[in-house]
Amino acid sequence: MAEPGIPIEIARDEFARSRPVVSRGLVLNLWRQWQAIAPDAWLFDDPTQNLALLLHARAHGAPVPQPGDRSTQGRLLRDMEHLYEPVAPAPLIWGPRANLCSATSPAIESPILDVWIYRDGALPSGVLIIGDALPEIRAQVLPAAFLASLGMGTLDTDMVNNGAIRVELPLSGRPALKIPVNLLGAHPGFLPADVPDNARDAIQQLVRELRDLATATGLIRLHETEADTPARLHQAILDRASRAAAHPVLWASVASEPSADMAALVPYVEIPDGSALQMRFSGTLLDAPAYQKLERIYRRATIERIKTDVTLRRDRNTQEAERLDRDHEAYKNTPKESRVAIWGPTVLLDVRYDPRLDREIHVEPKEEDAEKYYLHAVPGLANNHRKTAELMGRILDSIVAADERPDAPVRRLAAARLLDAAVRGGNVTDSPSLTAAFDTWAAQVRPMLWLEWRKTLTDAGIQSADVFTHNTIVHIGQSDGEWGRDLLMVPHSVMHPRGTAALVDRRRRVTVYLDTARTARALDQPNDPAQAEDAWRRVVELATVPGTIEADVDLAVNDALLADPAKAVRRVLDTLTDAGADSDSAATPARSSPEGRGAFDAALEKAIEATSRLRAMRRAGVALSRWAPQTVRASVAAVGTENPWLGVRAALLEAALEYLHEGGDPRSPAELAAGIGPGGTERVMAALHRAREQNSEYTEQWLAQLKAVDLGAAVSRLQLGVPPLERLLTDDEARAAWMSRVGAETARLARLIEEAADTLAEDGEPIPVALAKLGAALEESFLDEFAGANRHAAHDLMAILTGTERSFGQGTRPPNRDDGE
Amino acid sequence: MRGEIYVLSLLRVSELADNVVTEHLRDSVNSNAVAELTDPERQHLAGARYEYLADKITEAFQPPPPPRFTEANFLDLLQPIVQRELARVLGCPPEDALASLLDPIPIMRDLDSIQPSTLPPTLDADVEPLLYALLTGPANGHAVTRIRQRYQFGENDWGTYLRTRRWLLDSAIDLLHQEATRRGWGRVEPSRALAGLIAHAGQPTAERLGPSEGHFDALAIVVLRRLAAQLAGDLREEAEASISSAIAKAPTMTGLIKLRGWIDLYERNSLARGLLKLCGGTVPLRRVIAHAERSVKQVYATYEKPIRNENLTVGNVNEFPRREGLLRREQWYVTFDVQCLLGDDDEPVTILTITRLPRRDFPQVRGAIERLHGTDLSAVGDTVGDRLLNTGVSAGNDLQSLLRGYIERHCALVAQTIVLAGIQQPLTADDVPWQRSLRDHLRYIPRNPDQDVVFQKDLAEIIDEVREHYRDTGRDLVIDSEPP
């Protein structure tokens, strides 16, 4: 290996002999020596070697001249540009017509995903996903595939590239990491059935998730085939390659009926020896500073996100276990005679914690005896959280171990995707910073990759158009090389016997895969309006023909869509929207009458009136937990004194607020109980006076506990026994109106939070800027009239953004959990 | 009280927020902003104040984007005040600011391309003389102008050139990005960050966020985004649970089902699911026979006498003509009974009588009813006849029914076409309850519907072409159509 100090002649010979497997050290050493000796002279006699050195040096980040510069090197780069032109055809942007035309054929550039589930009997053994996908779908599928691969321990062999994802069961039964699948924020509507115990479960989970996404969005097509499909197709190609000695063979099984709906990625096979076409590069290609930066950003979006999530779950469960332990102890330490007053006679269980999935499930509320709950159920719940925290700790250790394996599987998976995109001339558009880093690196490395691929193919007598098509993907493996780990680039094609034919001809030297994508061209003609009108007229006429059957409708609508997709689909939807104008039905997009809307409004008004005091009480608690004193005061005033049960609690909450406002210490609130210091101010005393007027016994009991517990815990207990709002609504319509409004507002909040989080700069953000971006949406999550509530994740976010925990305590009623037993 | 948590939280962590509040808080009687805003005696002012201040703080944290880097900015780079500003950002003494910003090699290369031999090619060129060289030149224009003319770009488009020709050092690019983030400009081109620095050089307002205000690094942002995603996920589940409960409580409030479809479509990105709920499927018989008259019989199914799971039947069919309209045209109508079996009864019982159904609609309606079994009947409704009227059927030969059936069968294809055709608002409605709170357009990035691909040949044509090619070249081609 030519390191600094090695004579230039030896280094030069080494470079020429080893190409394309040349190490970074060798390349940069030669480049520097060339620059130092005579940049205007040639280093090699062969100009293509000079060109290669320039492009390899650029691939490693050296400041190589640009083609067209007046320097000698710049002129060489321009004169020989044809040797390093892109190898793959420029990517095409598919629209609705391409999708309608090719709905039966998978294509790497298709925005709609085709998913093949390989089945071994009834169980999935692998998944092949073909298609570029819409960004919104890709953002869900890529992480899900990455997670499945990580869970199965197959990161070193799987492929998570642009346009093609292949995840397969490991050959031996490796144990799976128990990873709850929602770690990467996979499809939000997906409810996993279980945490995978082994690799088979992990892949089954991925399949379920893809199915759910397909059903929900319609933007994924699912297919199933036998587990041995890839092997069968590969073998079929090899058989034909070996038989091609005498005559060229065109294998077109599409002509056989019925041809099976199967697909696989198959390598380009060299003829006649049957080996897979491939090229090696030195692994040091990935040591270029631009790649290192790119890899760091890629890791942030994948493995670091997973680690973060697991860490958050571990910490959350630890805190929750501690909170439950504290509640248990506090209940035990409360004198029996005061327990009912302080803690309430019953608790309402409306959330069930599922330790297997580490998630809370909202359940139909049920009353539970407080004594039974705090003394017997709470220790079990705390234990569940402790166990989950321990499990998350173990998962974290496993992920770290998997990440740090000597064969660096995450690194290989990243390199596979990024190198493939670089060779094919595609983009990586997961996030702005990843896109920027990829563009910078790709601009450096592409010319070298294209030069070496062109040379390899030319040397082998292969035309690059036979290998690099719209349906070619480059798989990257690793293998031990002369100077360390090499990168092995192996082009593959999508083989779909219904839509692909394979030409095996000795003169072509490699299998040629023929499909319609080879004839794809950008659409350059507008739709023919007359044809579109004609096609739609035929659809409309069907309604006048008695006894029209579904097949006629399908044919006519499909024709109309093909003639002008945008216009036809608009017409279909507009027709259906108009259809509802006179409807009174629930199952259609009908427009209900204004009277109907009025009925909703009237029912909601009834609900608002019935729940106003209770909502004010809840809002006061939430506002106090995030220190919004004026909101607390206004809410307490809204609770009023008509309902003494609520009135006493609201007045005590106000006393706590004014005590804190005067600088009282929440950790030792004895001064509040004693009425001295901040606890003796006029406003505190006035609030306590009001509380005593409402219920003096409760007030004294509540004040008495302040000797034992902090103010936060005491304030939390003011919300114990407060019923859910729905309880107050006996009228079904009012209840439905209320709950549907809550649902709509909660859905809106979800969107606000997501949109706000999307504005955070990936590379970092000053703390106040992050708070300014998220703060308004978070405030709504606490205080929205309908959907505001205390939520763990919202408090966690505020704690990070403001550097402070909740003002104190749990605010409103903490979620009481059923242990699921 | 909108804005209270937001304003008080930001006051806790941001000098900028404090400045904004202090500037805009009028008639203050307290010593500081927090005391004034939380003063119980000032509660009557609080609501309006918080709303106003929240808006002002939001504005302050969203400064206008920096200007583009123009040709005139090269001259600015030589100003001491700009070099001091750059030095602060690049972490170097002012005299090294230019050397820390610009890479002399590509600049020299580009200068050389327009005026060779003005400078000797050397690796250790000083940047400042290069900058002077760029700003001087013969009568036909400064060197910068000639470079621009040579590469044919506009005077304001230097940003792209600086990036692609790598005039800016990588280390400077990173620091410019950081500065842009710190100033709230977000992820702008480094050249714009540079132009912004030049524009604000020496102005005290440029120091928007003090260094004491702390910074979240990239991993901290990952944590924030994960928590936000978790919160959004929790909220979505809550929303779904609330709406499901609402529907369970009042199944006859028809808008609730639409609300669920609307949320699927526009809030959850579940296009196919939303389309099916809003457009697809069957329609209740009540709607299919909306133009007929009906009489529901007081027949109830009970636990002891349930509806038998056998086909419903149509009987007592009578056809009759009526003369209608100005021209007294003859129209034909049908009257019929719908019957079903209850419990162990031998005789069917009439549950519904339909009169004056236009005769042309009768075959579809009859077929749809006779295909129903007892267990197909909707649970909504008291009498069996009401339940039948609420049951979805796929009858009707009108255009809407045909298209609804199409969506039911090909929902995915319709969803795909909607997104790929760039349609942002596939459905509109003014009757979905609470829709003003919800989105009314899809969350898919809009696509250009004119951008599309055509396939010039299908596989059969490609095979024919290959076959012809071999025939023309006189070589035998074996066509192998064996399945794999």
* pLDDT tens digit at each of 484 positions of chain B: 899 999 999 998 888 898 889 888 877 878 888 999 999 999 889 999 999 999 999 888 887 788 899 888 998 998 999 999 999 889 899 888 998 999 888 888 788 777 665 554 454 568 888 888 888 766 556 888 888 887 778 877 888 888 878 889 888 888 898 888 777 787 788 899 999 999 888 765 434 555 456 788 888 888 898 889 889 988 998 898 889 888 888 877 778 888 989 999 999 889 999 998 888 766 778 877 888 898 999 999 887 888 888 889 999 999 998 887 777 788 889 999 999 999 888 889 999 999 989 887 787 788 778 878 887 787 777 899 998 988 877 666 788 888 988 888 899 999 999 999 999 999 888 778 888 889 989 988 878 877 899 888 888 899 999 999 999 998 888 888 888 7
Interface residue B48 vs chain A (CB under 8 A): no
Interface residue B249 vs chain A (CB under 8 A): yes
Residue of B247, B279, B390, B416 to mutate when probing chain A, most A C-beta within 10 A: B416
pLDDT digits (tens, 9 = 90+) for B390-447: 887 766 678 888 898 888 889 999 999 999 999 999 988 877 888 888 998 998 887 8
Number of H helices, E strands in chain B: 22, 9
Identify the helix (H) or strand (E) that includes residue A695.
helix A682-704
Find chain A residues with C-beta within 8 A of B365's C-beta: none
Contacts of B388 by beta carbon, 8 Å cutoff, 6+ apart: B285, B312, B338, B351, B352, B369, B372, B377, B378, B381
Separation CA A699–CA A718 (nearest Å): 10
Write down the pLDDT at residue A514: 94
Average pLDDT over residues A766-772: 90
Q: pLDDT: is A23 or A712 the higher one? A: A23
Cβ neighbours around B315 below 10 Å, total: 10
pLDDT digits (tens, 9 = 90+) for A656-681: 999 999 988 888 888 888 888 888 88
Find chain B residues with C-beta within 8 A of A92's C-beta: 453
Structural tokens at position A511: 């299998």
Chain B closest CA to A426's CA: distance in Å? 17
Which residue from B123, B216, B219 is facing A770, i.e. has the nearest CB?
Answer: B216
Whose tokens are 């009239």? That residue is A785
Write down the pLDDT at residue B394: 67
Q: pLDDT: is A108 or A172 the higher one? A: A108
Interface residue B81 vs chain A (CB under 8 A): no
**What band does A196 get if pLDDT is binned at 50, 70 and 90?**
low
Which residue from A96, A726, A791 is facing B234, i.e. has the nearest CB?
Answer: A791
Q: Tally the C-alpha atoms within 13 A of residue A311's C-alpha that lie toward its C-beta.
A: 14
Q: pLDDT: is A493 or A245 the higher one? A: A493
Separation CA B384–CA B366 (nearest Å): 17
Tell if the CB–CB gap between A586 and B427 is shorter than 8 Å: no
Residue A222 has pLDDT above 60, yes or no: yes
Chain A closest CA to B408's CA: distance in Å? 11
Write down the pLDDT at residue A821: 37
Find chain B residues with C-beta within 8 A of A579's C-beta: 400, 404
Q: Is A461 helix (H, G, I), strand (E, B) or coil?
A: coil
pLDDT digits (tens, 9 = 90+) for A506-522: 999 999 999 988 888 88
Average pLDDT over residues A410-431: 90
Write down the pLDDT at residue A258: 60
Could you tell me if B406 and A557 are in contact, meaning their C-beta atoms sit under 8 angstroms apart? yes
Average pLDDT over residues A268-295: 92
Write down the pLDDT at residue A20: 93
Interface residue B242 vs chain A (CB under 8 A): yes
Interface residue B239 vs chain A (CB under 8 A): yes
Separation CA A307–CA A183 (nearest Å): 9
Whose tokens are 């307002």? That residue is B205
B 371-400 residues with CB < 8 A to A: 392, 397-400
Pairing state between β B478-480 and A249-251: parallel
Q: What's phi and psi for A354, nearest 5 deg? A: -105, 105
**What band does A103 get if pLDDT is binned at 50, 70 and 90?**
low
Number of H helices, E strands in chain A: 28, 17
Write down the pLDDT at residue A483: 59
pLDDT digits (tens, 9 = 90+) for B242-261: 898 888 888 777 788 889 89
Could you tell me if A359 and A330 are in contact, meaning their C-beta atoms sit under 8 angstroms apart? no
Alpha carbon of residue A803 to chain centroid: 27
Separation CA A511–CA A249 (nearest Å): 10
Find chain B residues with C-beta within 8 A of A749's C-beta: 235
Write down the pLDDT at residue A593: 45
Chain A / chain B CB contacts < 8 angstroms: 617
Separation CA A145–CA B199 (nearest Å): 47
Write down the pLDDT at residue A178: 57
Following DSSP, what letter does each residue of A321-390 receive, concatenated?
Answer: HHHHHHHHHHHHHS-HHHHHHHH-SEEEEEEEEETTTTEEEEEEEEEEEHHHIIIIIHHHHHHHHHHHHH
Query: CA of A188: which chain B residue's CA is closest?
Result: B233
Which residue from A101, A515, A774 is facing B459, i.e. has the nearest CB?
Answer: A515
**What band does A175 get if pLDDT is binned at 50, 70 and 90?**
low
Write down the pLDDT at residue A219: 96
Which residue from A218, A362, A519 is facing B238, i.e. has the nearest CB?
Answer: A362
Cα distances (angstroms) measured from residue A21 to each of A134, A489, B135: 36, 12, 45
pLDDT digits (tens, 9 = 90+) for A5-15: 678 888 999 99
Tell if the CB–CB gap between B216 and A582 is shorter than 8 Å: no
Average per-residue pLDDT for chain A = 85
Q: Which of A37-46, A382-391, A404-413 has the lowest mean pLDDT?
A: A404-413
pTM: 0.80
**What band does A122 get if pLDDT is binned at 50, 70 and 90?**
confident
Residue of B249, B278, B283, B469 to mutate when probing chain A, most A C-beta within 10 A: B249
**What band does A400 get if pLDDT is binned at 50, 70 and 90?**
confident
Q: pLDDT: is A591 or B237 the higher one? A: B237
Which residue from A360, A577, A738 is facing B427, i.e. has the nearest CB?
Answer: A577
Find chain A residues with C-beta within 8 A of B188's C-beta: none
CA dihedral B241, B243, B245, B250 (to 10 degrees): -170
Alpha carbon of residue A253 to chain centroid: 38
Q: Which of A172-181, A776-785, B21-30, B316-325 has the lowest mean pLDDT?
A: A172-181
% pLDDT > 70, chain A:
89
B 90-149 residues with CB < 8 A to A: 103, 105-106, 109, 112-113, 116, 121, 123
**Burial (Cβ within 10 Å: 0-12, 13-18, ≥19) of residue A271:** buried
Show the beta-strand stretches assigned E in B277-426.
283-284, 293-296, 313-324, 329-340, 349-358, 392-393
Separation CA A298–CA B372 (nearest Å): 56
Query: CA of A730: which chain B residue's CA is closest?
Result: B249
- H/E/C letters for each residue in A375-393? HHHHHHHHHHHHHHHHHHH
Write down the pLDDT at residue B350: 94
Which residue from B429, B444, B477 is facing A589, i.e. has the nearest CB?
Answer: B429
Q: Is the peptide bond before A86 cis (omega within 30 degrees of 0)?
A: no
Query: CA of A69: which chain B residue's CA is closest?
Result: B113
B 160-199 residues with CB < 8 A to A: 165-166, 170, 177-178, 181-182, 184, 186-187
Separation CA A507–CA A560 (nearest Å): 45
ipTM above 0.90, yes or no: no
Q: Is A276 helix (H, G, I), strand (E, B) or coil?
A: strand
Following DSSP, what letter does each residue of B132-144 receive, concatenated?
Answer: HHHT--STT--HH
Q: Which of A338-342, A370-374, A634-638, A737-741 has the lowest mean pLDDT?
A: A338-342
Which residue from B186, B420, B477 is facing A99, i.e. has the nearest CB?
Answer: B420
Tell if the CB–CB gap between A136 and B279 is shorter than 8 Å: no
pLDDT digits (tens, 9 = 90+) for A431-451: 888 888 899 899 999 999 999
Tell if the CB–CB gap between B256 and A740 is shorter than 8 Å: yes
Separation CA A536–CA A556 (nearest Å): 8
Output DSSP code: residue A83.
G
